[in-house]
Chain A
Amino acid sequence: MKKLNIYFTGLSLLFGAFALSSCDGNLLETVPNDRLSESVFWKTESDVKLAVNALYTDLDDVNIISWDALTDVAHTNQSFNVQAYIELGTFDATNSKIYNEWQKAYTGVRATNYFLANADKVSFANVDLLNQYKAEARVLRAYQYIKLAGLYGDVPLVTTPITIPEAQQLIRNPVEQIWNFIEKELSESAESLPATYAAAEKGRITKGAAWGLSARASLFAGRYRKAAESAQMVIQSGTYGLYESYEKLFSYAAENNKEVLIDKQFVKDIYPNNIFQTIAPYSQKNGSSTYVPTKALADLYETNAGKNINDPASGYNEAEPYNNRDKRFQYSIFLEGDLLPSGGTYQPRPDSGTPDAIGNTYIATTTGYNIKKYINTEDFANPANSGINIILLRYAEVLLSYAEAKIELNEIDHAVLEAINLVRNGRNDVKQPSITTTDQAALRAIVRNERAVELAFEGIRLFDIRRWKIAEDILPGSVYGITYQDNNDDLVTVQVAVNKLFDKNRHYLWPIPQKERDLNSSLTQNQGW
């Protein structure tokens, strides 16, 4: 027995020792296999390319429509959506939409800063290629700053990857400094960027994209001279032109067409977006109708005589509001009787008995309109899996920016009218009569209207009404929808049960998010907040 005990003790100790040594010499030094250590990266040219690729994911996409829903042209359909409070004017610095846009922009800024701080660690055989990658990153960073400046005004200008303590010391740079930075970055970057890319690289930032963004930024900044010059760089390059069809511009067939300067690229299944599900009418497999067009936008579309619907000579008939209108109306918005991707027809009247009837459910449109841009029949089969590219900057905007800048400079010439008229009738399907007036005030009104209708739901309107300072006039009050003849042949205009406020003393800029100010006491707040 004694012997057995000794054996046994030996055995058990051996057993324990075995478990100790063989399994787990490095018990506490586990290394993850699902991520890449920083220490092995930034060695090869390929690393730099992979890193610049990832920067594109920070571009905006479907969310650009949400900005239109904060203006007069669209409405957030569900009253309990966080951003409905912004539309109503009953929001404050704690609103999560305000925070999320801020956070998203600075996430993009960080990514580009990190890239730019590390890219030079790799030596390239072809230095031009490294410079191109860096220029792509700088343009993508400028893209984020244009948004930040437009939404919040003065913001911290961060150009290096910063630590938490550094972030807690940041102060807001005057917005003019931000615009200066953007202007310089875009001009410099344009030098290093190619005019076009091979098919497999379509979607990368081009020289034209840098100038186009520069035109947008300068216009937003009120720097009309620079805006006109930058736009002119794009126009002169001859690389870009309008796509032949406005109706098809947002379809799969038109992807990567010559009108697109910047887009966020998607591929079904691989890198999809959910635009169909987000904005499609409710009847389309429970489309969310998250944002819906308003009467305010509908009324901005001219008649095909080129006149405002309020003009007695316009030929507008209230009882048949969809007839004789600017074609862009029906190409941008689902109107009663339109064919739907499902094969059915769009019937939004409250009494239509279809899923799209106003009041059928809180998800169905409340105005009787739905957004048609980007709704492609191809996406109906799988509504949350859309591969359509979302256009972030296109040639028509550059033309209108050029025109607006020149009008504001009061340098109205043939080129200005040509730019406007190209947008109005330079395609095969939109044929609005040409503008001939050279009156500055008249042209200003025309170009503003043109931007509203041409670029509806493309994320531009919010920035435009802020810089034009017209929000205080067009936003307050109710939201209205379709006008239709009821059973008594009375004309009824749908009124949505909201009452919007706009305080011109503070609503022209969003507040700096409260959470951000809690973490950094050096951040001041915008006026009125």
Chain B
Amino acid sequence: MKANLPYSKAFYPLFVILLSVITTWAHAQNIRITGVITDVSDQSFIPGANILIKGTQQGTTTDINGNFELSAPSNATLVVSAIGFVSQEVSVSNQSVLSIALAADTKLLEEVVVVGYGTQKKASLTNAVSQISGEDITRRPVSNIQQSFQGQMPGVTVTDLGGSPGKSNATIRVRGITTFNINSSNTSGYDLSKNDALVIVDGIEQQLSDINPDDIENVSILKDAASTAIYGSRATNGVVLITTKRAKESKVQVNYHGYYAIQKSNNVPQMMGLEAYMRHQVAAYTNAGLPVPARFSEESIQTYITTTDREKYPLPNTWFDILLRAAPQQNHSLSIAGGNDVLKTRLSVRYQDQEGVIRNFGNKIGEIRLSSDYQVSKKVKISADVNYRHNDTHSPTTNANQPLNNFFHGTLWAVPKYADGTYGLSTQGNNPLMFIEIGGQSRQRTDYLSGYVKADYEIIEGLTFSTQIAGRALFTQQKNYTNSYTNIDKNTNIVKTIANNSLTEVRDNLREYTLNNLLSYEKSIRKHNLKALVGYSQIGNTQTFLQAYRERFYNNQISSIGQGANDGTKNNNGNDAEYGLRSFFGRINYDYDGKYLFEANARYDGSSKFTGTKQYSVFPSFSAGWRISQEDFWSSLANTVNDLKVRGSWGITGNQSVGLYSYYSALTASGYTFGGTAVQGYRQSTLANTDLGWESTTQLDIGLDAAFLNRQLNLTVDYYKKITNDILLNLDIPATVGLIASPQNAGSVKNEGWELSANYRGKANNSSFRYNLGANLSYNDNEVIDLKGTGPYITGSDIDPRYIIKKGLPINTLWGYKTDGLFQTEEEITAYKATYAANTKPGDVKHIDLNGDGKIDANDMTQIGNSFPKYTFGINSDFSYKNFELNILFQGAAKVDARLAGALSEMGNQEGFTHEIFTNNYWTPENTAARFPRPVKFDLRNVTSSDRMVVDGSYLRLKNVQLAYSLPNAVIEKVKLNKVRVYFSATNLFTISKLNEWNLDPEAPSGRAVYFPQTALYTLGLNLQF
């Protein structure tokens, strides 16, 4: 408030003069008017300002020198506006020369940012916080809210890993990877789930995945320690704060947003052509010294080529063409909001139905949210929210990835379906179409209920006490039913029998309550502004899990658990868990005259996951800023650089992602049998660690915020360095101890990088055309700096990606051999000496003997790729012209690699899908310049974990294009509506990437590509408001 006083003072005399002018004239006649528009603060000219004759569409804009010229009635009123300034109405009053001074829009400066346990003026923010509005989120229909963050904010890396409806999979990483689990790894590297950001929705920790995008008012992502430390032990990976929409004081407003979309798989891998593949197989068998199977005899090849009977002579692999389809998705959100000074309330409902691009996968969401605010008295305000969501997911009963795995593996030469309705089977007995259609059905229903009551009491002016009690409950019910069936391939007589139908039923219940008590104080004395906050919070969480199994139901339609065989095959299992978190925290903000800014935070967190002296820990942070542009000496530069702030922060945050009861010394049940009967047994299995403590991250951030060109251009730059210490690792311990290691505090990781974001709001000379260009770029360098003398940790094998966690390298670095092309002659092989396999022949891969010991083994492996992008970027542009709006979003990543595995890398050497890329491009004595080595059936020599399997995963993608049209007011007024807007949007329209030639999505997880594919959406949407 203090800051804008100078403007008001200067503006006041001008306003008086104009007022007196207006009253003098009263006659109307078109006259020619010229004028100049200036900034009241420094008399600089304002280019691009709008001058409109009130009540008409006529007008003009100022030129680069702030001059304008137009013809208007002598008694007209002109509306003058410019971006970043308060609009003004000026009466012409027969003047032909006008000089108008505009005041900077202080509201703009007072843009408010949501931070932990409160809000803060953007101008006085000393922390690194990115935010996006609800509008930006709903622009792009997504199946997972994380996806809508993609490309929008620097330092936030979102990777869309595909996933079936209801289980879509996107990871969000704020400023790199700080931690990892060593003991659990899979084909896409060591488990990085501990890096998930903390998500707080309206003050309560929640899951991000299922929130209705139409309910989101805005999202803040807290990135540096100064902004996150107030969340203490859970804050290391950044904090996503979501504020939901609330009603404002107004008459009842109804909003409807609905869309219908068609989803398509982004990529459809292409199998080698029939003849090319068959001849390739002949070469592979021959090269391996194996007899060529009858199917690949010349006579058979000719039959396969010429036949029209594809039931008898099927194509090798047609799954991608048969099973991927265009699938619909629809979403409808309706909200009703309104209220008066006593009660404001908003009700929203949503229905979403998404079908999978593979049949028999789908998801439905039904949701209701009610939020209310009661102004009980002048000093007391109560808010209450309830949100209930029902999620119903269905899929074939198999691991969701099993059919996808079969697209690539173990299904060659199977007829998808014979004309009589029976299925063909591969030699391994597989047919993904059959599994999807008759394998059985899995259904997961979740009921999610969350709600809170919150009271704010203003004790005295500036001092507010606030208490919030929240609860959330998640009930998951899962039924996985496997059908029994027998299918005989009528051509080959291969039989697939699932002898017993079976049912696994799961109940997984989670209950959690949160209590937040806050006391906040705000006071300004002259130029000293002070804000302080103290708080107390606790969270209690319990989880119960129950699972039951029975088999041999009377038939596949009987699927109630009690109907299965009641004998030794039935099985049940369950467990309970609970944990608690108790926290005290506080914050002080102080600024002097809006120039010198200072903030300190601290949180004291206690967790049931730790014991003894390690149970509690303190997480402090400090930050400071200097608004240079507010200094007197800056005034000469103020025209060019309207705003300039430098800021810095330092702080410590924690991570408590560790299994429960790791410190607890216990015995586990381990039964055995004697003489045919079960006996109980108990044994020690895990080594308890009572010294367990938090992971802690120390982060330094230096940033700069600047505004140029009358605030049309805004720039933010940040540098950060964060070091995570005491990473909770299941370190390898000597196996001679004979027990599973509990996590220990060991290991350190460094993330260092910078972020840049720029935004330009502009307007063409034609006043109806406006545009907004935003770009962001971030760089992150990740390095493991200490593993307490252990490691390296290597996962994977020659057939699955090898990842390494090793001091000096980024987490999950791809690991393997370096290669140097192909051997061309026997002489070359003899001279080279070090070969990977015995009987190396021309056309085999030349592995580099890095340590020069004359043999190729694990000691020759080195880093061959980077699995997490070093650069990520987004370019977002909005254009509006009259009633049209166009939004275009590009997004991408660079310095990232993908590792091929499974069928894609085997080159047809095993029994999988063989990509068309190999067609006529493998080494033969006649084709020595081929890109790929000679095929050798059932042999791994040329498909080892080497740089040949690593593909540059950098990409640039047109993520979203949206074109919207709002009906003109004249039209909608007739139908008593406030707003009618239709839009068309398309996502993932095109991608530039080296992975395109493999038909892989650049966001694909490394490995076998056997996951539910990423989709492109073509959407038609409608917004209505009345």
Instruction: Give residues in A with beta carbon < 8 Å to B.
Output: 1, 4-5, 8-9, 12-13, 15-16, 19-20, 23-24, 27-30, 32-39, 41, 47, 50-51, 53-57, 79-80, 82, 90, 92, 94, 99, 102-103, 106-111, 113-114, 156, 158, 161-164, 167-168, 170, 197, 199-204, 255-256, 265-271, 285-286, 350-351, 353, 355, 359-364, 381-382, 495, 497, 499, 501, 513, 515-516, 518-520
> Contact: A30 with B580, CB < 8 Å?
yes
* B606 interfacial by beta-carbon distance below 8 Å: yes
Cα A515 to Cα B731 with chains together (Å): 11
The verdict on B167 contacting chain A, using a C-beta distance below 8 Å, is no
- Among the listed A4, A27, A41, which residue makes an inter-chain contact with B667, where contact means beta carbons less than 8 Å apart? A41
Name the A residues within 8 Å of B538 (CB-CB): 19-20, 24, 27
Residue in A24, A32, A203 whose CB lies within 8 Å of B674: A203
Find the residue from B465, B517, B684, B687 having the highest chain A CB count within 10 A.
B684
Indicate if the CB atoms of B735 and A103 lie closer than 8 Å. Answer: yes
By a CB distance below 8 angstroms, the chain B residues around A268 are 568
A residues in contact with B378, CB < 8 Å = 1
Whether B938 pairs with A362 at a CB distance below 8 angstroms is yes
Contacts of A162 in B (CB 8 A): 736-737
- The docked-state distance in angstroms from the alpha carbon of A156 to that of B859 is 26
Q: How far is the CA of A495 from the CA of B517 in the complex (A)?
A: 77
On whether the beta carbons of A30 and B681 are closer than 8 Å, the reply is no
Question: CA of A163 to CA of B744 in the docked complex: distance in angstroms?
Answer: 14
Q: Mark B571-582, 1 if CB is under 8 A from A, else 0.
A: 000011111111
B310 contacts the other chain (Cβ, under 8 Å)? Answer: no
* 8 Å CB interface, B665-682 against A: 665-682
- Across the interface, which residues of A come within 8 angstroms of B429, CB to CB? 286
Contact for B737 among A29, A32, A36, A164, CB less than 8 A: A164
Asked whether, in the complex, the Cβ of A355 is within 8 Å of the Cβ of B494, the reply is yes
Chain A CB count within 10 A is highest, among B455, B666, B672, B910, for B672
Q: Which residue of chain B is the closest to A514 with respect to CB atoms?
A: B858
Query: 6 smallest A-B Cβ distances: which pairs?
Result: A110-B738, A54-B681, A27-B580, A202-B675, A53-B681, A167-B734
Is B592 part of the binding interface, using a Cβ–Cβ cutoff of 8 Å?
no
Q: Which residues of A lie under 8 Å from residue B513 when comparing CB positions?
A: 19, 23
Q: Please tell me which stretch of B238-246, B284-292, B339-347 contacts chain A, meaning at least 4 of its Cβ atoms lie within 8 angstroms of it.
A: B284-292
Residues of B within 8 A of A (CB): 288-291, 293-294, 376-380, 426-429, 455, 457, 459, 465, 467, 469, 492, 494, 497, 499-500, 513, 515, 517, 538, 540, 567-569, 575-582, 606-608, 615, 660-661, 664-684, 687, 732-739, 741, 790-791, 794, 797-799, 837-839, 857-859, 910-911, 937-940
- Enumerate chain B residues within 8 angstroms of A519, measured Cβ to Cβ: 732-734, 790
Given contacts A30-B579, A110-B738, contact A497 B288 (CB under 8 A): yes
Kindly provide the distance from the CB of A516 to the nearest chain B CB, expressed in whole angstroms: 6
Tell whether, in the assembled complex, residue B734 and residue A50 are in contact, meaning their CB atoms are under 8 Å apart: no
25 contacts between A and B (CB under 8 A): A12-B455, A16-B517, A19-B469, A29-B608, A30-B660, A32-B660, A32-B664, A32-B666, A36-B668, A47-B682, A53-B681, A99-B735, A114-B683, A158-B738, A164-B737, A267-B678, A268-B568, A270-B568, A271-B671, A286-B428, A350-B293, A359-B291, A516-B734, A519-B790, A520-B736
Q: Are A201's CB and B500's CB within 8 A?
A: no
Residue among B378, B674, B677 with most chain A CB within 10 A: B674
Q: Max chain A CB contacts within 10 Å: which of B608, B738, B790, B858?
A: B738
> CA separation between A1 and B739, bound complex, in Å?
66
* B675/A203 in contact, CB under 8 A: yes
Instruction: Determine the distance from Cα of A19 to Cα of B469 in the docked complex, in whole angstroms.
Output: 8
* A453 → B minimal CB distance (Å): 29
Query: A162, A163, A204, A362: which has the most chain B beta carbons within 10 Å?
Result: A362
Measured between alpha carbons, how far is A23 from B469 in the docked complex, in Å?
13
Residue in A94, A268, A519 with the greatest tally of chain B CB atoms within 10 Å: A519
- Complex: chain B residue closest to A198, CB-CB: B675
Return chain B residues, CB-CB under 8 Å to A167. 733-734, 736-737
Establish whether residues A38 and B667, one from each chain, have CB atoms under 8 Å apart when the complex forms.
Answer: yes
Q: In angstroms, how far is the closest chain A Cβ from the Cβ of B290?
A: 6
Given contacts A32-B577, A106-B735, A516-B736, A23 and B683 within 8 Å (CB-CB): no
B682 touches A41 (CB 8 A): yes
Chain A positions within 8 Å of B837 at CB level: 90
Q: How far is it, in angstroms, between the C-alpha of A1 and the C-alpha of B953 when the chains are bound? A: 65
Nearest residue (CB) in B for A104 is B735
Of A8, A33, A170, A285, which contacts B376 at CB under 8 A? A8
List the A residue with the shortest CB-CB distance to B666: A35
| Sample of 20 further A-B pairs with CB below 8 A, known A5-B457, A56-B672, A362-B911 | A12-B457, A16-B517, A27-B538, A28-B606, A30-B578, A32-B577, A36-B666, A51-B682, A57-B670, A57-B681, A79-B940, A92-B859, A94-B858, A107-B738, A110-B738, A110-B739, A164-B734, A265-B675, A270-B678, A516-B735
| Contact present for B288 and A518 (CB under 8 Å) | no
Out of A13, A382, A518, which one reaches B500, CB within 8 Å?
A382
Q: Nearest-CB distance from B523 to chain A (Å)?
A: 21
Name the contact of B290 in the complex, choosing from A38, A94, A359, A361 (C-beta under 8 A): A359
A30-B578, A51-B682 known; A203 vs B673 contact (CB < 8 Å) = yes
A163 CB contact (under 8 Å) in B455, B674, B737: B737
**Docked-complex contact B576 and A265, CB < 8 angstroms:** no
Which residues of B sit under 8 angstroms from A170, Cβ to Cβ?
734, 736
Minimum CB–CB distance for B798 against chain A, Å: 7
| Inter-subunit contact A36/B674 (CB<8 Å) | no
Contacts of B940 in A (CB 8 A): 79-80
Contact A51 B911 (CB under 8 A): no
Task: Name the A residues within 8 Å of B938 (CB-CB).
Answer: 79, 362, 497
Query: Across the interface, which residues of B come within 8 angstroms of A285, CB to CB?
Result: 497
Contacts of A515 in B (CB 8 A): 732, 735
The smallest C-beta distance from B312 to any residue of chain A, in angstroms, reads 14
Given A37-B665, A57-B670, does the pair A80, B797 have CB atoms closer than 8 Å? yes
Q: For residue B459, which residues in chain A have a CB less than 8 angstroms away from its CB?
A: 9
CB distance from B1015 to the nearest CB of A (A): 32
Cβ distance A376 to chain B, nearest Cβ, rounded Å: 15
Write the chain A residue with the least CB distance to B287: A497
Which A residues touch B577, using CB under 8 A? 32, 34
Given A23-B513, A109-B738, also A200-B499 (CB < 8 A):
no
Residue of A nearest to B569 (CB): A269
Contacts of B797 on A, CB cut-off 8 Å? 80, 82
Chain B residues with Cβ below 8 Å from A113 are: 738
| Complex Cα spacing A1 to B376, Å | 9
- Bound together, the chains give a CA A15 to CA B384 distance in angstroms of 15
Complex Cα gap A199–B676 (Å): 9
Taking CB as reference atom, which chain A residue is nearest B293? A359
**Nearest-CB distance from B409 to chain A (Å)?**
11
Compute how far the CA of A261 lies from the CA of B530 in the bound complex, rounded to whole angstroms: 83
Asked whether A361 lies within 8 Å of B911 as measured between CB atoms, the reply is: yes
Which chain A positions have C-beta within 8 A of B679? 50, 53
Identity of the chain A residue whose Cβ is nearest the Cβ of B568 in the assembled complex: A269
Nearest-CB distance from B324 to chain A (Å)? 25
Using Cβ atoms and an 8 Å threshold, which residues of chain A touch B676?
A: 202, 255, 265, 267
For A99, what are the chain B residues with a Cβ–Cβ distance below 8 Å?
A: 735
Q: Which residues of A contact B794 (CB under 8 A)?
A: 94
Please determine whether B734 and A168 come into contact, CB atoms closer than 8 angstroms.
yes
The chain A residue with its CB closest to the CB of B455 is A12
Name the distance in Å between A426's Cβ and chain B's nearest Cβ: 26
Q: How far is the CA of A108 from the CA of B735 in the complex (A)?
A: 11
Nearest chain B residue, comparing its CB with the CB of A100:
B735
In the complex, the answer to whether B568 meets A35 with C-beta atoms within 8 Å is no
Given A107-B738, A111-B683, A265-B675, A164-B667 contact (CB < 8 Å): no
With contacts A57-B670, A103-B735, A267-B673 known, is A28 near B615, CB below 8 A? yes
* Chain A residue with Cβ nearest B664: A32
A103 to B733, CA, bound (A): 11
Chain B positions within 8 Å of A201 at CB level: 674-675
Chain A residues with Cβ below 8 Å from B687 are 164
Give Cα A103 to B799, complex, Å. 24
A156 neighbours in B (Cβ, 8 Å): 736
